[in-house]
Amino acid sequence: MQIRELSIPDSYEITPKQFGDDRGVFLEWYRFDKLEDEIGHSLDLAQANTSVSKRGVVRGIHFADIPPSQAKYVTATHGAVLDYVIDIRVGSPTFGQWDSVLLDDTDRRAIYLSEGLGHAFVALTENATVSYLVTSTFNAEREHGINPLDPEVELRFPEEAGELLLSPKDTDAPSLAEAKESGLLPTWEEARAFYASLTEKGR
């Protein structure tokens, strides 16, 4: 597989090598050792999630408190989504910026997001099925959101998504500026310190 760091530090695009024949296709969509070589520590996986979304559904922007927050390894097993990583770490050189990766059942890419980063996606097909490996179990009290339509973040949604469908939870979420003002966001310093502790733990 090929692993490429995105423009947002501590996030990566993973492109697997596929082996196809007249029976179908085989690939490794997750390799702990290959990812560890890139990020400097192994993942202590705690939970696996799957979502199925109609075309146009937007999920996110979601994040969790550090520590431990929740690193995510995400792929689409059916259909296609455009997956976004948003830097919400106050003090980061790319704070407020984002990058995206097309996840689909053709190239079968994945995206890895370190703890403290914001995550969202928009479904480009009907029944877009997304699977996530995450490093901590869901804890509602530590989970937060930012409105994905926040003009300051300015996520760009492709025309293939059609009419956008969002949950009240996401549309009622604060803007990036409001979340920063209220102290809800992680900081660059605490995120870097947490990543360093994971690397030290793995030695």
Residues with catalytic roles? 62, 132
End-to-end CA distance of the chain: 25
How far, CA to CA in Å, does 6 sit from each of 19, 53, 97? 26, 25, 11
- Residue 68 carries which side chain, given as an amino acid letter? P
Q: Which of 86, 80, 85, 74 is nearest to 133 (CA)?
A: 74
**What sign does the dihedral 175-181-182-187 (CA atoms) show?**
positive
Look at residues 18, 187, 52, 35 and name the one whose alpha carbon lies nearest to residue 113: 35
29-46 burial, b if ≥16 CB within 10 A, otherwise e?
A: bbeeeebeeebebebeee
Secondary structure (H, E, C), 110-145: EEEECCCCEEEEEECCCCEEEEEEECCCCCHHHEEE
**Quick one: 21 exposed, middle or buried, by C-beta within 10 A (0-12, 13-18, 19+)?**
exposed
